[in-house]
Amino acid sequence: MELTQALELAGSRHQGVLTTIRRDGRPQLSNIVYSLEGTTARISVTDERAKTKNLRRDPRASLYVVGDTFWSYVVLDGTAELSPVAGTAHDGVVDELVDLYRRVRGEEHPDWDDYRRVMVEERRLVVRLHIDHAYGMITG
């Protein structure tokens, strides 16, 4: 499968499964929402989650995205880059989380001040998965 085909399918979606690597080498799967821009998928995560700890130890990850049927899917492999943890309501990380929210939801939040406060409170950060390989099957 060509990377461009996989990116086209993944770019039309916002839900997927992120696979990271546990300390013992087994996969850790997490349902996530994402925004794809070019060859980078951005994902909002919290600092204390297993996927975040796994990515700090080993930045290799895969994003599984299902197509229109169960038999249509792509897997995007890449290397994760983690932003700093949100520190203040108006820092660059929270600004990026606001942009990510808009791209995934396609709408404005009813209370941006509250959203920004919660991003800091939850110790959120952005995973930027830089995609370099894809496989899968697109049917129908």
CATH code of the domain containing 10 = 2.30.110.10
Question: Is 113 inside any structural domain?
Answer: no
pLDDT tens track, the chain, 140 positions: 899 999 999 999 999 999 999 999 999 999 999 999 999 999 999 999 999 999 999 999 999 999 999 999 999 999 999 999 999 999 999 999 999 999 999 999 999 999 999 999 999 999 999 999 999 999 86
User: The domain containing residue 52 runs over which residues?
Assistant: 3-83+124-137
> Does any domain span residue 52?
yes
Cα–Cα distance for residue pair 89/116, rounded to 1 Å: 5
Residue 70 lies in a domain: yes
pLDDT for residue 1 = 80
- Give the pLDDT score at 92: 97
| Residue spans of alpha helices (H) in 34-74 | 50-57
Which residues are registered as beta bridge partners of 40? Answer: 37, 130
Does the residue 130 lie in any domain?
yes
Within 8 A by CB and 6+ apart from 53, the residues are none
pLDDT confidence of residue 94: 98
Virtual torsion, Cα 37, 134, 85, 92, nearest 10 deg? -20
| In a domain? residue 47 | yes
pLDDT at site 77: 98
Question: Token pair of 58, please?
Answer: 């080993």
Domain contains 72: yes
Q: How many domains does the chain have?
A: 1
Residue appearing with tokens 């916002």:
14
Residue 88, domain member (yes or no): no
- Please check whether residue 106 lies inside any domain of the structure: no
CA distance 65 to 83: 23
Taking only the tens place, the pLDDT of each residue in 24-52 is 999 999 999 999 999 999 999 999 999 99
Phi, psi for 43 (deg, rounded to 5): -135, 135
